[in-house]
Amino acid sequence: MTLEQRFVTEPPVSEPDRQHFYIARAGEYVREESNRLGRVLSATITTFGCQMNARDSEKLAGILRQIGFVDEPDEEKADFVIFNTCTVRENANMRVYGRLGQLNHIKRKQPHKMIALCGCMMQEPEVVEKLQKSYRFVDLIFGTHNIYKFAELFVKCKEAGRMTVDVWDEADKIVEELPNERKYPFKSGVNIMFGCNNFCSYCIVPYVRGRERSRNPRDILHEIERLVGDGVVEVMLLGQNVNSYGKTLDVPMSFAELLREVEKIEGLRRIRFMTSHPKDLSDDLIAVMADSKKICPHLHLPIQSGSTRILQKMNRRYTKEQYLDLVKRLRDAIPDISLTTDIIVGFPGETEEDFLETMDVVEKVRYDSAFTFQYSKRSKTPAAMMENQVEAAVVKDRFDRLLARVQEISAQACGRYEGKIKDVLVETVNDHDQSLVTGRMDNNLLVHFPGNETLVGKIVPVKLEECKGFYYMGNQES
Ligand code: 5AD
Ligand code: SF4
């Protein structure tokens, strides 16, 4: 196809063909601009938020690469700057506005610079309104449901020559077989489902990521097989609530059943997944984890609060006792399992007694690590309308007490492997000391030990000599 033919041909209606058409067309724009400037064009993506966003950014990076952009991490130098945003807590939004302010200064000096915003924050109409009013220098805005149309939107924006906004309320389909570019050659996230149906009362995710949709197991297994063929040894299966995987499929399949299939893939060494909702964690899943040679003995099991009264207001649908019982069943079946969690302090109506219930769970479970958050009021959520919002100073005080205890316990918990030999997947040469490499054990703990770049991507046995609080120093065993 010549350039002229490509420009007059109608885009195909079906996906992914339509996007491949637009990738080619976007490539022509990039080549033209490149010729004009006499240099290659560069782009950078800044990702805020969770693993799902990180995975979406890899998809954007894959499309950027095919269009012809090279990577330029420096926002000041890059011709195209993309922010993939998060809105789960208010401070994530504030950071985006702060960074946009800086970009505005840069764009004044470099008017050809293109700026795109996408991700969860764009699914909030008030945010888009504010951007349209006060941030006119942004070129392209799109949401979480049409990320697969990135190339098409890029072309639309170029042709319009002004701010282009396209945000959908709901997803129309799951589009497979689009390019993506992995951050690490040896490990990869794999989406197994999108969206969330749980409506925890504090959480904005169901409003910005839409209803729960599971990917077809065949597509997931093919993707993992392809990744393994390409050198990947570890996958992280991603979803807001992986334990309810498969419920909406034409032929329903449980998450435990999916894991059994993933386990069979030859050459795959490690399987991780996140996030698990305690209410949906089945005995079958515990059994699969206990039997598996590949599933890492690590579970991220957000508790959010230890008070049954608050859990009920949060719409979490489990009690403190049910959660503790689940932890007991997990530890009975998988004795050395590493447990991590998310905890929110200062949910509306939380009293000191409620908070002490949370502290009690922390004492009882002794998490390997815990992400602690101060409650953040998100518009549209039921909790935002609740009475008795807790005073900021009280939230801060509880947060500090919780964090101190969580850190003490995780330092002690981390130490329990001292002197043992563990398999470690080497990820990088150490940033600070080139004579060391850094890798992860199956329980996600970091280890630094003497080695060089030839070890990157390999799984090797390492003697854990000394625990340094949250990581180990070790030596490779021969
Ligand atoms: N305020 C504070 N933390 C929140 N999270 C989700 N919504 C809020 C909110 N409104 C936390 C939860 C969740 C994690 C990803 O973010 O702990 O598990
Ligand atoms: Fe938010 Fe709850 Fe869904 Fe997690 S399970 S994404 S906290 S609504």
Q: Which atom of ligand 2 is nearest to the CA of 206?
A: 8
Q: Tell me the ligand closest to 376's alpha carbon.
A: 1
Residue bearing the CA closest to ligand 2, atom 2: 200
Q: Which of 53, 203, 403 to mutate to test the pocket of ligand 1 (most atoms within 8 A of CB)?
A: 203
DSSP E strand stretches across 17-103: 42-47, 70-71, 80-85
Q: How far is the CA of 5 from the centre of ligand 1 (A)?
A: 50
Point out the ligand 2 atom lying closest to the alpha carbon of residue 88: 1
Q: Establish whether the linkage from the previous residue to 144 is cis, with ω within 30° of 0.
A: no
pLDDT digits (tens, 9 = 90+) for 392-417: 999 999 999 999 999 999 999 999 99
Work out the pLDDT band at 3, boundaries 50, 70, 90: low
The tokens of 238 are what? 């991603």
pLDDT score recorded for residue 173? 81
The proportion of the chain whose per-residue pLDDT surpasses 70, expressed as a percent, equals 98
Question: In the predicted model, what is the mean pLDDT of residues 324-340?
Answer: 97
User: Stretch 316-342: mean pLDDT, rounded?
Assistant: 97
Instruction: At 243, list the tokens.
Output: 């334990």
Sign of CA dihedral 237, 241, 242, 247: negative
Question: Residue range 127-143: average pLDDT?
Answer: 96
pLDDT for res 172: 79
Structure confidence at residue 10 as a pLDDT band (50, 70, 90): confident
Residues in the ligand 2 pocket, defined by CB under 6 Å: 196, 198-200, 203, 205-206, 240-241, 277
Residue 439 has pLDDT above 60, yes or no: yes
Q: What separation in Å is there between the alpha carbon of 48 and the centre of ligand 1?
A: 14
CA of 421 to the centre of ligand 1 (A): 36
* Angstrom distance (rounded) from CA 106 to CA 112: 11
Per-residue model confidence as pLDDT tens digits over 177-194 = 888 888 899 999 999 999
CA 371 to ligand 1 center in whole angstroms: 10
Q: Which ligand is nearest to the CA of 348?
A: 1
In angstroms, the CA 35 to CA 253 distance is: 51
Confidence of residue 5 (pLDDT cuts 50, 70, 90): low
The tokens of 280 are what?
């949906």
Both tokens of 338, joined, read 């590493």
Which band of pLDDT confidence, cut at 50, 70 and 90, is reported for residue 2?
low
- Distance between alpha carbon 468 and the CA centroid of its chain, in Å? 27
Q: Alpha helix (H) ranges present in 75-183?
A: 90-109, 125-134, 150-160
Total Cβ atoms within 10 A of residue 453: 11
- Helix 217-229 to helix 255-263 angle (10° resolution) is 30
DSSP state of 380: T
- Give dist(CA 359, CA 363) in Å, integer: 6
Q: pLDDT class for 90, splitting at 50, 70, 90?
A: very high
Cis check: omega of the bond before 16, within 30 degrees of 0? yes
Decide if pLDDT at 478 tops 90.
no
**Ligand 2 centroid – CA 32 distance (Å):** 45
CA of 204 to the centre of ligand 2 (A): 8
C-beta of residue 298 within 8 angstroms of C-beta of residue 340: yes
195 against 170, higher pLDDT: 195
Is the distance from CB of 269 to CB of 234 less than 8 angstroms? yes
pLDDT (0 to 100) of residue 224: 97
Name residue 339's amino acid.
L
Return d(Cα 331, Cα 290) in angstroms, integer. Answer: 10
What pLDDT does 229 receive? 96
Cross-strand partners of 465: none
Strand stretches in 242-306, DSSP E: 270-274, 298-300
pLDDT higher at 395 or 176: 395
Helices and strands counted in the chain (H then E): 14, 19
State how far the Cα of 450 lies from the Cα of 326, in Å rounded to an integer. Answer: 39
What is the pLDDT of the chain when averaged over all its residues?
94
Mean pLDDT of 38-42: 96
Strand arrangement of the beta sheet that strand 164-166 belongs to: 70-71, 42-47, 80-85, 114-119, 140-142, 164-166
Given a cut of 80, whether residue 457 has pLDDT beyond it is yes
Q: With 60 as the cut, is the pLDDT of residue 133 above it?
A: yes
CA angle, 412 as apex, 411 and 418 as ends, to 5°?
Answer: 100
Question: Measured at the alpha carbon of residue 123, what is the angle toward residues 119 and 127, in degrees to the nearest 5?
Answer: 100
Residue pair 270/296 in contact by the 8 Å Cβ criterion: yes
- Ligand 2 mutation pick, 52, 197, 202, 203, max ligand atoms within 8 A of CB: 203
**In this structure, how many other beta carbons lie within 10 angstroms of the beta carbon of residue 449?**
24
Query: Ligand 1, closest atom to CA 377?
Result: 10
* pTM summary value: 0.93
Six token digits for residue 383: 């909790």
Determine the Cα–Cα distance for residues 421 and 477; give it in Å rounded to an integer.
Answer: 8
Residue 9: pLDDT over 80: no
Ligand nearest to the CA of 88: 1
For a ligand 1 pocket test, name from 89, 277, 361 the mutation site with the most ligand atoms within 8 angstroms of its C-beta: 89
Judge contact between 44 and 79, C-beta under 8 A.
no
pLDDT of residue 175: 86
Per-residue CA distances from 351 to 105, 356, 373, 375, 383 (Å): 45, 9, 16, 13, 16
Q: How far is the CA of 452 from the centre of ligand 1 (A)?
A: 39
pLDDT tens, position by position, 265-298: 999 999 999 999 999 999 999 999 999 999 999 9
Give me the percent of the chain exceeding a pLDDT of 90: 91
Q: How far is the CA of 288 from the centre of ligand 1 (A)?
A: 28
Q: Which atom of ligand 1 is nearest to the CA of 203?
A: 7
Residue 333 Cα to ligand 2 midpoint, Å, equals 26
What is the Cα–Cα distance from 5 to 106, expressed in whole angstroms?
37
Q: Which ligand 2 atom is the nearest neighbour of the CA of 203?
A: 1
Work out which ligand 2 atom sits closest to the CA atom of 304: 7
Question: Per-residue pLDDT averaged across 41-57, rounded?
Answer: 94
Q: Is 26 a residue whose pLDDT tops 90?
A: yes
Task: Assess whether the C-beta atom of 314 lies below 6 angstroms from ligand 1.
Answer: no
Containing 191, the helix (H) or strand (E) segment is strand 187-191
193 burial via Cβ count (<10 Å: 0-12, 13-18, 19+): buried
